[in-house]
Chains A and B, each alone.
Chain A
Amino acid sequence: MLIQEMMDIVKKYFKSGSAGIYNSEPSDTPMGEEIGLYEYSGDDRSFKYCVCSSLNMDRGSYCKSTDHFKHEGDAVYSLFMHLTHSKDFHADFELMYYDKWGSYEDMYGVTIKVDDEWRVYLADSHMFVLARQDFTSAREAMEYFKETVKDDPYIQKLIKDYVSDYEAV
């Protein structure tokens, strides 16, 4: 998924409460928690997609940390992972993992309902609208997708290329 696509989803399904999600680097001294999802425009071209979390702890102490990713999709999927237990994020979604180890390295996509439409986002830049739409949960939609494409050489190559090219700092 592209950052811009994620920002549209955030606008629709994330209610800013104590935390806010922005398309830029968050401030060093936030009010609550600020998360930035953005493309870093510095010289380092290899790891330019960032997820930066800036948190106001208490008594004037702050903590800020940034993950840098080579792939735009990985920055987005790591933000999804961050939002898995968020009460402020109201979209029904399932992250998809290669193998089933469930580490940062092998996330390759997300199944999500957006605008009443079941969609599968893969790698950085692919979005598929599922032909079947009668799912009751993202997990069900994801399982249908995985079963359907398990022998699809085009999709399997795309997933494999993507997870093999993972790099982050």
Chain B
Amino acid sequence: MQIQDLMKLIDKYYAGADCRMTVCDHSPDPDGEGLRIGLYQTDCTFTVEEYPASKDCWYTHHFSAYGREGGAVYYFLNHPVYAEELKVHSFPEYRLLIHVNNKGLEIPYGVIMKLDGVWNAYLADKGHYYIKNWTFKSIDEAVDYFEGYVKSNEQLNDMAQRFINRNGQI
């Protein structure tokens, strides 16, 4: 998923009077209030920059950087605090597609979510697919189906593998 796609979803779905988090596609305002997160491209990486909500936090500023754009987006979606905040503020339910490497490290390479009644699959940076099968009973079934499809499709599998190879940063 690209940063601009994430921003569209945030603008559309993340809502509520008690939202604690601000998400933007540039460096967040250092003097702002609450949890502030910016996702943006720098010279050679994609950065997630965060100011914590609490003044009592042990850090004042946190950067993390990824080799691929999707890496920054999936890091954001996979972060327990951000994910919980999205979940309680009407953001659509989602599941990350996870590759487990030879050492047991989990590397996200895509995400599945149901948007306006349609199953959407995002793969690597720019892949975006609509799954026409409507019979999934749960999001897990949709994930199983799409993971299987990626494995069996040479082009998609290659795209996923290249993304994973470039994106094993921790």
Contact = CB atoms under 8 A, between A and B. Distances in A.
Given A129-B61, A149-B58, A124 B169 contact: yes
Contacts of A165: 101, 103, 105, 168, 170
B15 to A, nearest CB: 26
B59 interface: yes
Contacts of B66: 125
B84 to A, nearest CB: 12
Interface in B146-170: 165, 168-170
Nearest to B56: A131
A130 B165 contact: no
Contacts of B106: 161
A24 interface: no
B113 to A, nearest CB: 23
B61 A154 contact: no
Nearest to B59: A128
A72 interface: yes
Contact of A127 (B43, B57, B58, B63): B63
A125 B58 contact: no
B8 interface: no
B163 to A, nearest CB: 12
A133 B59 CA distance: 10
Contact of B80 (A2, A128, A131, A154): A154
Contact of B60 (A131, A148, A164): A131
Nearest to A148: B58
Contacts of A71: 168-170
Given A45-B165, A123-B170, A125-B169, A130 B58 contact: yes
A6 to B, nearest CB: 13
A14 interface: no
Nearest to A73: B170
Identify which of A4, A131, A149, A154 gathers the most chain B CB atoms within 10 Å of its CB. Answer: A131
A158 interface: yes
